[in-house]
Structure 1
Amino acid sequence: MLQEADQTEDAVALLVDAGNWDEIARIALEEGDAILAQGRSETLAGWLDLLPTKLVEADPRLLCASAAARAHASPRAARQLFERAFEGFHSQRDTAGMLRSCSGIVDAIVFEFDDVTPLDRWLDVLDGLLTEISAASPAQVDAVAATTLIG
Structure 2
Amino acid sequence: MPSSPYLAPLCKTRTLQPRIAHSPPRHAEVTDARRAHEHQKLLINELNHRVKNTLATVQAFIIQTLRTAASLPEAREAITARLIALAEAHGVLTAACWEGADLAQIVADGLRIHAGDGHRCTWRGHPVRVIPLEAA
Same fold by TM-score greater than 0.5: no
Give me the TM-score of the superposition, normalised by structure 1: 0.24
More strand by share: 2
Query: Which one has a larger percent helix, Structure 1 or Structure 2?
Result: 1
